[in-house]
A and B are shown apart, each in its own frame.
Chain A
């Protein structure tokens, strides 16, 4: 059985910009091990000579004309969703200390 340590979970959480509680760390490290153990059944499947499937439609390079499209989105409605704004701009917390 694959053992996933709490340190590894912590590293993954940091990569995903997700703070986890102590309980979540413990819980997820044992659950992830169980789930990885379950999916390890794929090791036995012979995939010799197969190509990976990333999408199933068979469509290739769907393009459109390079022209401006007006999506008629209401700017005020869009702005009303911002947690914080100033002078019509998105305002975020400071990035550099």
Chain B
């Protein structure tokens, strides 16, 4: 399949009247139609996308600049509230839900001329690491249809790799952008917590949820972040964007200190991933970076902290799905309580139920101190350990996951094994630091990627360094 031009180039060409937005939208829609076997897409926003494309083309004809993303088609994970089709979060309980407003991230992208063409598959409510937990269908890895694309943003990752659109949006609560980017082979950015508004995105674990772009290149991820980031009155946890923005990056690594996270290079790491990273390390040294090994002894505890805090916040956030105001409702109930419990029983999949039960348990009065509060205290230790590490190094480097993409069905009957897929990605969410997945190699016909992390609000230098890693890996 023909790949898309660089996003900046597409928008320039649309603004110059050389390419029409309508052609681009139709091209994207036809590629989506042709890639159905991968089950990456839940629905298209065809009518609205065509309408918006015509508006943009008309704008260009009347001499207006239609924005930095003029006419660029994109695909949003289906937990972003959008007009033009249902927003389901790949869950039965939200089937038939027509969002009454759009996510702030979508509004900002549209203001720069981007056009949402479709909604991507995910693990229902973003609960999972393989996209097998979707209530609708299992997305396939673009490199090998017997393998998972990663998750929960598996549909978004597969979309970019299959070339269905020039970019997609994902959400990352414990690795859900970075891990599928690694399994499927694209760039995936989880920015600093609060940099992109969460308004209008189906909440999973609110103190951890981040929104980010999935793209072919680091430069394009930077551009999309530049458009989406910044304070939003609709999300009081948002922060100001970098005063220099996130484009025109400094991609020099000379004199930069990169720490290799010792805890991520243990025996559980696949040999082929280790080899690829070793090759990259040599190239980084040649490029003038100083490489040191660094230990964060608290990291092995991060997953345990995550699997207390995440279900706790999930159980609270999922309480709004009560079958009364939107989404699925069991209509044969005799009274309100039965309507609640039957609607939820029939509307939620197994993983949502599992997390509601775990979350309710760790938050219940007798166990709150032992689990929830203890996890919050260890979270502080994780935050402090990262702060300390970033006093001695500029960036931290490690694998994204211990393995490459695994087989469909391999872990679906063992929740703990599935949770362990997140072991290398959850810590940045707990600390609120930015982290980016950059594909560096291919082994066994599957992509290999690394994860680069920086201190909070250092997204700009992080993207610069990531750009250099991308260059070195080509």
With A19-B344, A57-B194 already in contact, the answer to whether A9 and B357 are too (CB < 8 A) is yes
The distance from the CB of B368 to the nearest CB of chain A, in whole angstroms, is: 11
With A62-B236, A92-B336 already in contact, the answer to whether A31 and B354 are too (CB < 8 A) is yes
Assess whether B111 is interfacial by the CB under 8 Å rule: no
Assess whether A81 is interfacial by the CB under 8 Å rule: yes
Assess whether A1 is interfacial by the CB under 8 Å rule: no
Chain B residues whose C-beta falls within 8 Å of the C-beta of A17 in the assembled complex = 319, 322, 337, 340-341, 344
The 8 Å CB contact of A93, one of B308, B333, B375, B380, is: B333
Size of the chain B interface, CB-CB below 8 angstroms: 71
Q: Do A32 and B301 touch across chains, with their CB atoms under 8 A apart? A: no
B239 nearest CB neighbor, chain A only: A57
Q: Do B373 and A52 touch across chains, with their CB atoms under 8 A apart? A: yes
Over the window 279-315 of chain B, the binary record of Cβ atoms lying under 8 Å from chain A Cβ atoms (1 yes, 0 no) is: 0000000000000000000101100110110000001
Chain B residues whose C-beta falls within 8 Å of the C-beta of A59 in the assembled complex = 194, 236-237, 239
Assess whether B244 is interfacial by the CB under 8 Å rule: no
Assess whether B371 is interfacial by the CB under 8 Å rule: yes
Assess whether B125 is interfacial by the CB under 8 Å rule: no
Over the window 195-220 of chain B, the binary record of Cβ atoms lying under 8 Å from chain A Cβ atoms (1 yes, 0 no) is: 00000000000010000000000000
Residue among A56, A73, A92 with the most chain B CB within 10 A? A56
The distance from the CB of A50 to the nearest CB of chain B, in whole angstroms, is: 5
The 8 Å CB contact of A42, one of B96, B101, B305, B360, is: B305
Q: Do A47 and B377 touch across chains, with their CB atoms under 8 A apart? A: yes
The distance from the CB of A47 to the nearest CB of chain B, in whole angstroms, is: 4
Enumerate B231-246 residues with CB–CB distance to A below 8 Å.
233, 236-237, 239
The 8 Å CB contact of A24, one of B305, B350, B416, is: B350
Residue among B348, B357, B430 with the most chain A CB within 10 A? B357
The 8 Å CB contact of A81, one of B233, B301, B326, B335, is: B326
B339 nearest CB neighbor, chain A only: A93
Q: Do A50 and B415 touch across chains, with their CB atoms under 8 A apart? A: no
Q: Do A32 and B357 touch across chains, with their CB atoms under 8 A apart? A: yes
The 8 Å CB contact of A78, one of B100, B324, B357, is: B100
Chain A residues whose C-beta falls within 8 Å of the C-beta of B357 in the assembled complex = 9, 12-13, 16, 18, 28, 32
Enumerate A49-97 residues with CB–CB distance to B below 8 Å.
50-57, 59, 62, 64, 71-74, 77-78, 80-84, 90, 92-95, 97
Assess whether B376 is interfacial by the CB under 8 Å rule: yes
With A35-B307, A52-B377 already in contact, the answer to whether A18 and B383 are too (CB < 8 A) is no
Assess whether B391 is interfacial by the CB under 8 Å rule: no
In the complex the two chains form, what is the Cα distance from A93 to B333 in whole Å? 7
Chain B residues whose C-beta falls within 8 Å of the C-beta of A97 in the assembled complex = 335
Q: Do B374 and A42 touch across chains, with their CB atoms under 8 A apart? A: yes
Q: Do A39 and B308 touch across chains, with their CB atoms under 8 A apart? A: yes
A55 nearest CB neighbor, chain B only: B207
Q: Do B416 and A45 touch across chains, with their CB atoms under 8 A apart? A: no
In the complex the two chains form, what is the Cα distance from A79 to B308 in whole Å? 36
In the complex the two chains form, what is the Cα distance from A4 to B340 in whole Å? 25
Q: Do B207 and A54 touch across chains, with their CB atoms under 8 A apart? A: yes
Q: Do A51 and B380 touch across chains, with their CB atoms under 8 A apart? A: yes
In the complex the two chains form, what is the Cα distance from A24 to B354 in whole Å? 9
Enumerate B321-350 residues with CB–CB distance to A below 8 Å.
322-329, 331, 333-342, 344-345, 348, 350
Chain B residues whose C-beta falls within 8 Å of the C-beta of A4 in the assembled complex = 361
With A17-B322, A39-B307 already in contact, the answer to whether A53 and B379 are too (CB < 8 A) is yes
In the complex the two chains form, what is the Cα distance from A52 to B338 in whole Å? 37
Chain B residues whose C-beta falls within 8 Å of the C-beta of A8 in the assembled complex = 361
Q: Do B98 and A77 touch across chains, with their CB atoms under 8 A apart? A: yes
5 residue pairs bridging A and B, Cβ less than 8 Å apart: A31-B415, A34-B416, A42-B304, A45-B301, A90-B324
- The 5 A-B residue pairs whose C-beta atoms are closest, nearest first, are A56-B432, A52-B376, A83-B329, A19-B345, A47-B377
